[in-house]
Amino acid sequence: MSGEYAKDQSTAAAQPAGCICAAQAAEVPTASGDAAAVGSSDPERPESESAAESLVDEVIVSAFELVSRLRGDLASVGAGLGLSQAQTWALVNLRGPAPMRELARALSCDPSNVTGIVDGLQRRGLVSREADPRDRRVRRLVLTPEGERRRTMLRQQVFGGQTGIGGLSGPQQRTLLDLLARALRS
């Protein structure tokens, strides 16, 4: 393990509280740990209301479990590529030339927290910073060819498998995506 990689791992673990990263995903409750909370009911509450809340709880806990599993898989594959958890998540979230503030929003971080993550990706030759042609004050992040290659590898190894979401049929994936988008809008 290189010194640079070890340094990046320690800084990823020390992310500020406002930044959601894979290290924090380990703190997300699981269904097995919350079984009592999900299954508990208030005797004063009507059964239908309690059942509806229980279903919502189960959906939320399952969503956390899925995200936690994906983040763990990403962290493992990213570590194999010499990337910290935060760098791995950033690389997966870059979908084209984007200002750093967009990456910060995708990572649930303050833009100032993204600077160190991007610095590490840039040192590895995975991203470059370019001036935005419409506003030269704004720096856009652009994946290099090597960054594209590693991003593709990450996505194929983690998202391309037949487990989890990859094990769903195309129509099931579309339905899930539609439901998630609807939940995010509400």
Domains of the chain: 3-40+47-180 (1.10.10.10)
What is the model's pLDDT at position 36?
37
pTM of the model: 0.64
Residues 6+ apart with CB under 8 A from 120: 4, 8, 83, 84, 87
- What is d(CA 150, CA 73) in angstroms, rounded to the nearest whole number? 15
Asked if 164 and 66 count as a contact pair (C-beta separation under 8 A), the reply is yes
What is the model's pLDDT at position 141?
94
DSSP-assigned beta bridge partners for residue 139: 131
Res. 11: pLDDT tops 60: no
Asked if 90 and 78 count as a contact pair (C-beta separation under 8 A), the reply is no
Q: What is the mean pLDDT of residues 52-79?
A: 89
What is the model's pLDDT at position 162?
56
Q: What sign has the CA pseudo-torsion 26, 17, 118, 139?
A: positive
Nearest alpha-carbon partner for 159 in 79, 94, 66, 83: 66
